Structure 1
């Protein structure tokens, strides 16, 4: 049975029946591994705000450039998610200092097409909102709709995605209905121009720097990765990226997600939690040995 991805407000529940009720799985539990599938789509969503897009593209922090160091950037991003969701106050403080040190170098110049500053709370709030929305989409696809109580708790937990850095708690919309309103308002600020589109396309199709497979395998890899990325994107972002989508692609995406859902259901817990289950240990090791955290 296929699952069609239907866009709906965060505050709306009940349209997609949960495959089991009374579950406690969240994106930081048995869905952490499959959450990686939505990573490229989430990057596209975040960078669809011009201030974020050009801030990342023009960043002087060499090690943080996703186009040049995708594995290192992925480790930093996933560690941030692990720290925000499950880290101790000491881990959060150490990681915040490291991220702030990198962000201090991310500011627009007179030559930049748009003005940006990595400490801009509005832009940080947008990035946190994208991460939260992505976590809800993963939950819906791989488990089903959350009941209201679980959804409310998940929403309040999501606040740490912003407050771990500079977003004050009062900036996080008060409830899921308020978040829906915020999200719709922010869509008016979304725009991906040719420069950012060209920057994002290799990320969207998994064309990693330094990794080149033999011709047919490379095309297959990009086809599957592009399908997954486009399938996870809301229509507005697909249109901004000019990524084609139709009923045939939707059916392929549904079948692929269905197969991955079944595989995730039977996978050992440690596999389902990888790599997030090792990132906090890696962070502690880096702190203890004085290695860079980001």
Structure 2
């Protein structure tokens, strides 16, 4: 990572100034994200460069970039149609967009997120697009939990994980489905572009693919079930998704038969990451982290009718 960040910064600077010249960009080389086993992201002025996770499939990433280019009113489009390679890592370039303000929860764009999801789910999936990577990402979080060693919270998290069907744990093919899905929806995946004036758009195509669209609603559903998302905000999100014709849940009535399994998986994923991060930081679980672990404690077996429905 020590060598990657300067090289990534140079890539972003070169993209921001293709003709050279003096640089007066602010920020210049700001690191937005970095972790040795994950993506690294830097910003130079209005250009963002992302080094994707080691081992990313170039063909799959190329199809995901093509999808974003074809849906510029839903997904932020890349600056270039294909990834570059920097120090052995696939790198993509993007325009900078203004993210959701984490210090202003009352202004969280739940309706915009739901509407974008519904439009994404209704868009045709390009031929050959890989499955969305939601279950694989949940499995990765559980592996990360297993790597930190014994912890009092690990038992209930792993028991809740083992109760899920194999497809939700990334251990078997998902039930057939051709719906275009984001794969990792949360409010951090929305930006305004152009920054501050443009519409909200979805970002981060790493997990984009085909599958069960309920997975994209599962994180806010899980937060609601854990008591972390107020009922009125969940209602706003769900109503906006239905109003926009989203296919993941029925147009009326109880949405939970469709959301139960994905929401369980996202709860386990969140709890596994919470425990792993607390151990790495040498601190106890905070209130929010404890809430998702407690939700794993409360989880019973998957209802047979849901398991059989997904198996069909």
TM-score by length of 2: 0.27
The structure that has the greater radius of gyration is: 2
TM-score by length of 1: 0.28
Q: Which has the higher helix share?
A: 1
Q: Which has the higher contact order (CA 8 A, sep 6+)?
A: 1
